Structure 1
């Protein structure tokens, strides 16, 4: 890794099915960041909330919210990531974009669609995992329900940071807290989870608990906040290298391939 990485996580109350207002809110929150940052992380479906109303809310692959991400990345000279409702061909996707400061991007379609909310009946499941290389860091970005599936998250590429964007409800927040920490420990990587807060249009309440853990599972800031906030986290390259050099647990990992 070339340098430390400053990551800004934004926990916000999403305005239900209103992309224009959500983009305005996030523009203001991003403008308010005073520290120097390399990466900004937004929640899952940050422009709409976790809606199954894809037919009315989708955007094309080069749509308004994606263009907004490019504009933010270019104007702030940062990378930015979060997921959107996207239609490509005849399929809808819960698609995460990782947009680089120069406007180039990579994408990840959510692998594990949330059957409890019948997400699988609206959105096609992604087939490929993504490893982003940015400023010398290898980052694995995933989406919400993916957190429950450790095989999909397994660190087979020696990535440095595991990242989850989410709309994870209060009723199951204990699982969110525990699984984020477990993913950090078992993969010997930083693990960051960015959740929303507030009530959605289906009357599900979200209480945040946006969190970050180091590669030994130690929290990097208070992880039980339910209010709106922005936190800048400094990830240290020396922490990853020293931990893995001293504790070579990843060398003993099981080898497997996914079908």
Structure 2
């Protein structure tokens, strides 16, 4: 019997720069998720919205949210991931946490900070990739603007799933749709994209379009509404596609320096 990974994507509006309110809101949404889910995915900066004012967020909020994620992960026996504003050693990061039910977690700092919004001026860019091993699957989590850079996303680690959490605005949503599908096809992996919806306090509108694509770029889940999306990822689909179509064996060999 092939391995399966059942995922829930939480597409939601966010409350501007209010971690307590966002944690309470997401706690209610998560409580309604089916008990059979293996992984819950939240948007980018899910406790604040895409703020360029990390000084408005208490430095203790990052650790508080990680503990909140750990508690939910343990109670529901499910992994949970999403990115938050995180302050460490007087540096601010757009940091993704992947929390496991056993209380452990792994982290990834956004590599490509969004210069158009000045993110590079207030958040320190990450330098390292992350591959998460979970329930027989290898996942590569990335954050929003990373989607535009195929070299950083390239499947050199033979991962099974590439995952993006985002605050991707409506005016450029066609690029989001196109690039998610492209990342699935070129890397022969499942591709997950979780976006927010609604307006933020800066007047930016977000239209969702959270989606899941299979290894051939077929869309298997999609929504523009405030809701929870579900999908089941099947290891046999990955293996059979790659065995039949050996495109990854012809990929360019390169090293990032």
Q: What TM-score comes out, normalization by structure 2 length?
A: 0.97
| Native 8 Å contact 1:58 1:86 kept in 2 | no
Aligned residues: 257
**Cα deviations by residue, 1:133-185 (Å, 9 ceiling, x for unpaired):** 00110000000000000000000010000000000000100000000000000
- Taking a change above 3 Å as real, the CA distance of residues 107 and 2 of structure 1, as seen in their structure-2 partners, is farther
Question: For 1:185-200, what aligned pairs fall within 5 Å after superposition?
Answer: 185-200=185-200
Runs of 4 or more off by more than 4 Å in structure 1? none
Unaligned runs of at least 5 residues, structure 2: none
Give yes or no for the alignment of 1:47 onto 2:54: no
> CA separation in 2, counterparts of 1:131 and 1:19?
27
**Cα deviations by residue, 1:18-45 (Å, 9 ceiling, x for unpaired):** 1111111110111111251000000000
- Taking a change above 3 Å as real, the CA distance of residues 182 and 254 of structure 1, as seen in their structure-2 partners, is same
| Native 8 Å contact 1:197 1:208 kept in 2 | yes
| Native 8 Å contact 1:2 1:135 kept in 2 | no
Match of 1:235 among 211, 233, 236: 233
> CA separation in 1, counterparts of 2:11 and 2:161?
19
> CA separation in 1, counterparts of 2:133 and 2:58?
28
| Native 8 Å contact 1:58 1:92 kept in 2 | no
What SS class does the counterpart of residue 63 from structure 1 fall into? helix
- Taking a change above 3 Å as real, the CA distance of residues 58 and 179 of structure 1, as seen in their structure-2 partners, is farther
Question: For 1:107-118, what aligned pairs fall within 5 Å after superposition?
Answer: 107-118=107-118
Question: For 1:23-172, what aligned pairs fall within 5 Å after superposition?
Answer: 23-60=23-60, 63-172=63-172
| Native 8 Å contact 1:54 1:85 kept in 2 | yes
Q: What TM-score comes out, normalization by structure 1 length?
A: 0.97
> CA separation in 2, counterparts of 1:228 and 1:242?
34
- Taking a change above 3 Å as real, the CA distance of residues 175 and 62 of structure 1, as seen in their structure-2 partners, is closer
How far has the Cα of 1:56 moved from its partner? 1.9
Unaligned runs of at least 5 residues, structure 1: none
> CA separation in 2, counterparts of 1:227 and 1:2?
32
1:207 paired residue number: 207
Question: For 1:6-25, what aligned pairs fall within 5 Å after superposition?
Answer: 6-25=6-25
**Cα deviations by residue, 1:200-243 (Å, 9 ceiling, x for unpaired):** 0100000000010000000002x3x3321101110011100100
2:256 paired residue number: 258
